[in-house]
Structure 1
Amino acid sequence: MINRFAVIGLGQFGMSIARTLAARGAEVLAIDVLIDKVEFVKDEVAHAVALDTTDIKALMAQNVQDMDAVVVAIGENFEGLLLTTVLLQDLKVKRIIARAASTQQRMILEKMGVTEILSPEETVGKTVAETLLHPNMKSFLPLADDYEIVEIQTPKRVVNKTVREVGLRQKYNLNLITVKRIFEEERGGKVSEVEHIIGVPQGDTVLYDSDIMILLGKEQDVNKFMEVNK
């Protein structure tokens, strides 16, 4: 069964969501008030329309109430985002995911009963801050309850040790999800370096200097692991 989604607001954020969903095989309805943005994405999604989403009749004409989920990614017009969200609630849309550009906007959406809220600016800001504070950190995904998923270069003190010797769970309360590793491969008569995921690490998996460790744990435990072993 094909998943059906509507994405309202085709700025950079909404456009990326629409394209990614379509590339993954979903049926996507892309909506924006500006026709040029609709034209830009129309060949990449199942349906693309220009309309005013603060008009409930216009929304109903596109059957948004039948979608598996609707993403409200309007970035510059928060009043329009709020009214659109209210109309989607009135239409009993199964799942509404709304964008919040600030803490205040998040609070308002929460008061309205929206439970799935995206804050791309806040997430990017935290990611940049973390990578500045910890140069070995390659990427950072904050989760609820102070948990995070991070990609870090193997710290110096654990290079050439096994996962068991490092004691990630026992010493640091961290889970090693997987490892990105560089392999040399011959392609077209030329040897090049290619990055691969090694799968689920075992206790005897050795960690090398060029490896990228993908860890799950609490922020303070990740920081402790990096500080102790740098």
Structure 2
Amino acid sequence: MRKVAVVGLGRFGMAVARQLAAANVQVVAVDTDRELIEDIKDDVSLAVVLDSTDEIAFRSQDLHKVDVLVVAIGENFEAALLTAVLGRKLNIPQVICRASTSVHAKIFRQVGATEVIQPETETGHQLARRLANPFLEDFFDLGEGFTLIELKSPSAFRGKTLRDLNLRARYNVNLVAIRRTVMVSSADGETTRKESLAVPQPDAVIEAEDTLVLIGANEDLARLPKE
């Protein structure tokens, strides 16, 4: 199971932590404010009052062993920056930083953040959904609890036909299209890669590089394989 540390429990951090936890991701919530920790402790795997810039304290909670570090500290840029630097120093695979300005975003990138989020372009709920399923490439909220998603083909689906998978019966979701890269030869013999989008037939076989376009209720989509 993926383990994500969310440091900073403002509106953005709370949204990320709670939605990840709801998606059965192991979440460690961190803040210096005890009231915020009390507010979220029943929703996540672990909630700790901690100075995330202190390496000894950071290691004491095994935060250096997480798969993803989300730095969502909003008002103290220095603390956010030092936390990001510490995450990179400790070789955490993904360090994602929330930046309130374009200048802050640039600085985060300069110190090695793997991704920078600005709230005007992505909400905490959207980030959580991406982190909960690394195969999720894009999604569109259709309202009333339904979403259209673009999902990298899970390993459990590869090499199987749609008839074998029976997605409608097994997951209560509909596969509406398959996005696939194909090799196309031109008249002069040159071969180029071209992306195609096709309505799948029952005997279509899912390939490793396919992107599946699916639609369904959010709770049903959440049951799809995540690896």
TM-score by length of 1: 0.55
Instruction: Give 4+ residue runs of structure 1 displaced > 4 Å after superposition.
Output: 148-152, 196-199
Structure-2 change in CA distance of 1:46 and 1:177 (3 Å): closer
User: Using the alignment, how far apart are the partners of 1:69 and 1:37 within structure 2?
Assistant: 21
Is the 8 Å Cα contact of residues 102 and 122 (structure 1) preserved in structure 2? no
The match for 1:38 is 37
> Where does 1:171-210 land on structure 2 (aligned, <5 Å)?
199-200=175-176
Is the 8 Å Cα contact of residues 5 and 69 (structure 2) preserved in structure 1? yes
Coordinate RMSD, CA, aligned: 3.1
- The alpha carbon displacement at 1:150 in A equals 6.4
> Where does 1:142-157 land on structure 2 (aligned, <5 Å)?
none
3-state DSSP class of the match of 1:52? coil
3-state DSSP class of the match of 2:9? coil
- The alpha carbon displacement at 1:109 in A equals 1.0
1:79 aligned to 2:78? yes
**Higher relative contact order structure (alpha carbons within 8 Å, sequence separation ≥ 6):** 2
Aligned-pair identity in percent equals 40
Structure-2 change in CA distance of 1:123 and 1:95 (3 Å): closer
Per-residue Cα deviation, 1:169-227 (whole angstroms, up to 9, x for no partner): xxxxxxx979xxxxxxxxxxxxxxxxx98651687xxxxxxxxxx9xxxxxxxxxxxxx
The match for 2:115 is 116
1:67 aligned to 2:63? no
1:17 aligned to 2:16? yes
Q: What letter is aligned with 2:40?
A: V
3-state DSSP class of the match of 1:121? coil
User: Using the alignment, how far apart are the partners of 1:28 and 1:20 within structure 2?
Assistant: 10
TM-score by length of 2: 0.55
Report the count of equivalent residues. 144
User: Using the alignment, how far apart are the partners of 1:37 and 1:52 within structure 2?
Assistant: 14
Structure-2 change in CA distance of 1:80 and 1:27 (3 Å): same
- The alpha carbon displacement at 1:94 in A equals 1.7
